[in-house]
Chain A
Amino acid sequence: MDFWIVQSLNGIAFGMLLFLLAAGLSLVFGLMRIVNLTHGSFYLLGAYIGFTVIGRTGSFLLAVVVVPLGIAALGLVMHRFLLRRFQGAELSQVLLTFGALFIFADVSLWYWGGYSHVLSKPAFLAGSLTIGTIVFPAYRIFVIVTGVIIALLFWLILERTTLGSMIRAGVDDEEMVRGLGINTPRLFTAVFALGAFLAALSGIIGGPLVGAYPGADFEVLLLALVVVIIGGLGSIGGAFVGSLLVGLIDTFGRALVPELAMFTIFAPMAIILALRPRGLFGRIR
């Protein structure tokens, strides 16, 4: 019984981390149709810079607040000056974000070296919780809680604010939104920056678990892609459900049939692609 509880919690924690990773990508794709391959780089930069900030100041809180804002600014600049003029030219954007991925990866390699860095947790979260016979790391509980809070925040923003309705409308019908007089280029840049913010945030939150290392950008990107395809492009709710699904399938897959470790992530994706290409909650515009 313990086994099932522990693994379920593991799966949910991993799922919430995936949600933080994938939400930004889903939004950017849903609204702007940009296959943003730099998404993983935003994660990596967030994690590395967070590592340096925590190393120098000892403050996890500072990192969580400051670093995502910095990366959001980077995303803003990148979209405004590089990507925006290629709106609609999707292949160009893919290649541009891919080039950016290489450059960010190399800069990270140059500055932080080839090492794997695991971020330090804040002291009060470093311990374990013991409930009966189950010992579970406190930090993973924190990740679960954070994921749920961010999901709720998203829901609030999307459903209850003007910005949210603009985004939802844009995902549905971008031309119409432009016709209504809304400055779509600026909206897009803002959402792109938001995506970068979330990716960097997941870098700090996920940092103590996943860490920052060469190649993390690719791995994170692929994971986010899987979630977005399963959950549906452009749907935050889909990203939430998709990430929980992937988190649980992957965790139980590794625990029960470890020979299929990588396959358990890609198999659901393949099935969705074969049966319902738009994903569980996605809409094809």
Chain B
Amino acid sequence: MPKRKHAVTLSVGVLTILVAAATGGMSRGASAQAPAARTPIKIGVLSPLSGPLAALARDVVDGARLYVDEVHGEMAGRKVELIVEDYEFKAAVALTKTKKLVERDQVHVVVGVILSAAVLAMKDYIHAHEVPFIVSGAAVAESITMEKPSPYVFRTSFSASQVPPPLGKFVYDKLKARTATVIAGDTVGTIELVMGFARAFEEAGGKVVQELYPPIGTTDFGPYIGKIRRDVGVVATLVPGADGIRFIKQYEEFGLKGKITVVDTAPGITDIAVLPAAGPSAVGMYAANAYVHTIKSPANEKFVRAFRAKTGRDPGGPGEYTYSALAAINQALGATGGNIEAKAKFLEALRRMDLEAPRGRIRFDRYQHVIQDVIITRIDKVGDQIVPVAVETVRGVDQFLGLSPEEYLKRPRLIALKGTFGK
């Protein structure tokens, strides 16, 4: 009997000591923000560095690092510190890492994130803790900047409502396809992308006859490829990253390459970070992009040269989106005299972003999402390289496709369209 009581007291004591130690360990942590001029600006970079999209995730980090290098580690006279965290392409981990970035590392702003579900998991927290967040990896679910828009959430990548629709029209008008099968990874971002394509394709006059949604992480696409109707005009896909590589290779193995054209509704397989691994299997695909490294402009050529020099590879979309996000932060800091702690002013300055980014001129709309051109590419073999070649550019596309926000929001949300085609 007596021993047990001692043990209980002892354990409570140990617990208390642990707690006290932890408390003491960080009591010197910043309670109030130090005066603006001296402390470094901390930018949290959240990227899925392990997982099926690791190749794209790398671009996010390198894009950020490249920009910081170019400004010599300083914005508006203050040092800039990047804190990189890996969220393993899981929404739950993204939330945990965000908490760490905000509460422990005390970052001033967060950039990155490719997985839409991760942003949706983080959004409430970010809003409650008033942390400026520029979605710059991908995270294209339209609801992020459309439904319950938060003044803290910006996006420099693209939206599912913005990039695929011009491709839908293109496929009907120029490729003359009349029927389509859509196949996408079963997560909200990729689903919305093919839904954006599907809606535009049908508005142009086509018919979507099949929807397939292999779970993220599927390795054997045999069952899904076996299901694709052999009489369909085009297969519209967003199977992302490593999954996409397997998909397009198995697509060829099952004899469908060359028989039914595959179009990437956004850079899933066709992003230059992923394309080399997909290899010859991807030749002949079309894709809709917000950014391609082959854009001919002085700003882009300079960017691509610098990126290549730093990393030895060509920049994919997430690299440019994040680079631009950092540029936007710098521009806003310039307008506020480096005072990132005065949040309202900083956010106001950020909203007025007007940049000559590598992809062209970009500004935010009223809902803090970027307005940009959409470039349709075809994957060709040029020499012994597999490269995207631009075939058409649609200028100045916004997330509401030219409609007023009120009008656009009256239509059903893209995610609600899942399962409504092919009936």
Which A residues are within 8 Å of any B CB, using their own CB? 3, 6-7, 10, 13-14, 109, 113-116, 118, 128, 130, 135-137, 139-140, 209-211, 213-215, 219, 250-252, 254-255, 258, 261-262
Question: Please, how many angstroms separate the alpha-carbon atoms of A6 and B215 in the complex?
Answer: 21
Contacting pair A114 B49 (CB below 8 A): yes
Q: How many A-B residue pairs have CB under 8 A?
A: 90
Question: Please, how many angstroms separate the alpha-carbon atoms of A261 and B223 in the complex?
Answer: 11
Beyond known contacts A6-B226, A128-B254: 14 more, CB 8 A cutoff: A6-B254, A14-B222, A114-B49, A116-B52, A116-B242, A118-B245, A135-B253, A137-B250, A140-B222, A209-B219, A254-B223, A258-B214, A258-B224, A261-B214
Contacting pair A128 B255 (CB below 8 A): yes
Q: Which of B217, B226, B245, B246 is the one whose CB lies under 8 Å from A215?
A: B217
Contacting pair B215 A262 (CB below 8 A): yes
Contacting pair B51 A214 (CB below 8 A): yes
CB of B12 to closest CB in A, whole Å: 26
A135 with B254, Cβ < 8 A, contacts A7-B226, A116-B241 known: yes
Instruction: Verify if B45 is at the interface (C-beta below 8 Å from A).
Output: no
Contacts of A214 in B (CB 8 A): 50-51, 88
Question: Please, how many angstroms separate the alpha-carbon atoms of A2 and B233 in the complex?
Answer: 19
A10 with B220, Cβ < 8 A, contacts A137-B250, A258-B213 known: yes
Contacts of B250 in A (CB 8 A): 137
Contacting pair A211 B223 (CB below 8 A): no
Question: Please, how many angstroms separate the alpha-carbon atoms of A261 and B187 in the complex?
Answer: 14
Q: Which of A10, A128, A211 is the one whose CB lies under 8 Å from B242?
A: A211
Question: Please, how many angstroms separate the alpha-carbon atoms of A109 and B250 in the complex?
Answer: 26
Contacting pair B223 A252 (CB below 8 A): yes
Q: Which of B226, B241, B249, B256 is the one whose CB lies under 8 Å from A255?
A: B226
Instruction: Verify if B55 is at the interface (C-beta below 8 Å from A).
Output: yes
Contacting pair B51 A213 (CB below 8 A): yes
A211 with B217, Cβ < 8 A, contacts A6-B226, A128-B255, A252-B223 known: no
Contacting pair B214 A254 (CB below 8 A): yes
A114 with B215, Cβ < 8 A, contacts A137-B253, A254-B224, A255-B227 known: no
Contacting pair A213 B223 (CB below 8 A): no
Question: Please, how many angstroms separate the alpha-carbon atoms of A275 and B417 in the complex?
Answer: 40
Q: Which residue of B lies closest to A211 (CB)?
A: B219
A251 with B222, Cβ < 8 A, contacts A3-B227, A136-B254 known: yes
Question: Please, how many angstroms separate the alpha-carbon atoms of A192 and B299 in the complex?
Answer: 60
CB of B279 to closest CB in A, whole Å: 11
Instruction: Verify if B54 is at the interface (C-beta below 8 Å from A).
Output: yes
Contacts of B213 in A (CB 8 A): 258
Contacting pair A251 B50 (CB below 8 A): no
Q: Which residue of A lies closest to B252 (CB)?
A: A128
Contacting pair B214 A115 (CB below 8 A): no
Question: Please, how many angstroms separate the alpha-carbon atoms of A124 and B199 in the complex?
Answer: 43
Contacting pair B254 A209 (CB below 8 A): no
Within 8 A of A (CB), among B227-250: 227, 241-242, 245-246, 249-250
Question: Please, how many angstroms separate the alpha-carbon atoms of A136 and B255 in the complex?
Answer: 8
Interface size bracket, B side: 20 to 34
Instruction: Verify if B118 is at the interface (C-beta below 8 Å from A).
Output: no
CB of B61 to closest CB in A, whole Å: 11
Contacting pair A130 B255 (CB below 8 A): yes
Instruction: Verify if B212 is at the interface (C-beta below 8 Å from A).
Output: yes
CB of A20 to closest CB in B, whole Å: 14
Highest count of chain B CB atoms <10 Å: which of A10, A14, A114? A114
CB of B86 to closest CB in A, whole Å: 7
Question: Please, how many angstroms separate the alpha-carbon atoms of A115 and B226 in the complex?
Answer: 27
Instruction: Verify if B304 is at the interface (C-beta below 8 Å from A).
Output: no
Q: Which residue of A lies closest to B256 (CB)?
A: A135
Instruction: Verify if B57 is at the interface (C-beta below 8 Å from A).
Output: yes
Q: Which of B86, B88, B254 is the one whose CB lies under 8 Å from A137?
A: B254
Contacting pair B52 A10 (CB below 8 A): no
Contacting pair B88 A251 (CB below 8 A): no
Question: Please, how many angstroms separate the alpha-carbon atoms of A130 and B227 in the complex?
Answer: 18
CB of A261 to closest CB in B, whole Å: 6
Question: Please, how many angstroms separate the alpha-carbon atoms of A254 and B223 in the complex?
Answer: 6
23 A-B contacts (beta carbon < 8 Å):
A3-B227, A6-B226, A10-B220, A109-B50, A113-B54, A114-B50, A114-B51, A114-B88, A116-B52, A116-B242, A118-B245, A118-B246, A128-B254, A128-B255, A135-B254, A135-B255, A136-B254, A209-B219, A211-B246, A214-B50, A214-B88, A251-B222, A261-B186
CB of B84 to closest CB in A, whole Å: 12
Contacting pair A114 B54 (CB below 8 A): yes
Contacting pair A255 B88 (CB below 8 A): no
Contacting pair A255 B217 (CB below 8 A): no
Contacting pair A251 B223 (CB below 8 A): yes
Contacting pair B242 A261 (CB below 8 A): no
CB of A121 to closest CB in B, whole Å: 10
CB of B418 to closest CB in A, whole Å: 11
Question: Please, how many angstroms separate the alpha-carbon atoms of A137 and B246 in the complex?
Answer: 13
Question: Please, how many angstroms separate the alpha-carbon atoms of A137 and B224 in the complex?
Answer: 14
Contacting pair B255 A209 (CB below 8 A): no
CB of A67 to closest CB in B, whole Å: 19
CB of A62 to closest CB in B, whole Å: 23
Within 8 A of A (CB), among B23-52: 48-52
8 tightest CB-CB pairs across the interface, nearest first? A135-B255, A114-B50, A116-B242, A137-B253, A10-B222, A114-B54, A254-B223, A255-B223
CB of B128 to closest CB in A, whole Å: 30
Contacting pair A219 B242 (CB below 8 A): no
Question: Please, how many angstroms separate the alpha-carbon atoms of A130 and B255 in the complex?
Answer: 9
Highest count of chain A CB atoms <10 Å: which of B212, B215, B223, B254? B223
Q: Which residue of A lies closest to B227 (CB)?
A: A255
Question: Please, how many angstroms separate the alpha-carbon atoms of A136 and B253 in the complex?
Answer: 7
Q: Which of A135, A210, A255 is the one whose CB lies under 8 Å from B219?
A: A210
Contacts of B253 in A (CB 8 A): 128, 135, 137, 139
Contacts of B214 in A (CB 8 A): 254, 258, 261
Q: Which of A211, A251, A258 is the one whose CB lies under 8 Å from B212?
A: A258
CB of B2 to closest CB in A, whole Å: 30
A219 with B217, Cβ < 8 A, contacts A114-B49, A116-B52 known: yes
Q: What 0/1 pattern do residues 164 to 193 of B give for CB contact below 8 A with A?
A: 000000000000000000000010000000
